[in-house]
């Protein structure tokens, strides 16, 4: 599996998980001038910007470890750009991370959902 395929599969699995958990998917792979957001979902009137990190091995660390302070800052900038573009000036929002571990065939081994990870 190529890295792009792993990322797409991880996003698909995360999307299915979120929908089953009662989230409404607003956008997948939203791209603005400041970067890309993997998933933008909503639940109970709260907007959730989701970074999905899928891995087939831990050779380069876990998905959670790949979400650095720099990545979180970029997600915040993207989220603010998205909300401005959508006219969502005063909406309640948060950033979540979903880490997905896959086996060599693309089967799901583990999925962890970390909620409201951005300290602001």
Q: Where along the chain do its domains lie?
A: 3-114
How far is residue 59's CA from residue 69's CA, in Å, rounded to a whole number? 21
pLDDT band at 120 (very low <50, low <70, confident <90, very high): low
pLDDT band at 110 (very low <50, low <70, confident <90, very high): very high
Q: So what's the pLDDT on residue 93?
A: 96
pLDDT tens column, 75-103: 999 999 999 999 998 899 999 999 999 98
Mean per-residue pLDDT for 21-35? 95
Angle ∠(38,42,46) on CA atoms, nearest 5: 120
Angle ∠(37,84,47) on CA atoms, nearest 5: 55
Cα dihedral sign, 36-41-46-49: negative
Answer whether residue 119 shows pLDDT above 80.
no
Q: Give the residue ranges of DSSP H helices in the chain.
A: 3-20, 69-86
Fold topology of 3-114:
Trna Endonuclease; Chain: A, domain 1 (3.40.1350)
């Amino acid at each position: 599996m190529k890295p792009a395929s792993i990322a797409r599969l991880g996003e698909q699995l995360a999307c299915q998980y979120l929908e089953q958990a009662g989230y409404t998917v607003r956008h997948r792979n939203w791209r603005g001038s400041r970067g890309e957001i993997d998933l933008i979902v909503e639940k109970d009137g709260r907007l959730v910007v989701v970074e999905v990190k899928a891995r087939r091995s831990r050779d380069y660390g876990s998905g959670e470890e790949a979400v650095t302070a720099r990545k979180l800052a970029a997600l915040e900038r993207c989220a603010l750009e998205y909300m401005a573009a959508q006219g969502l000036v005063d909406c309640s929002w948060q950033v979540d991370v979903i880490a997905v571990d896959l086996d060599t065939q693309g089967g799901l081994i583990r999925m962890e959902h970390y909620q409201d990870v951005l300290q602001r």
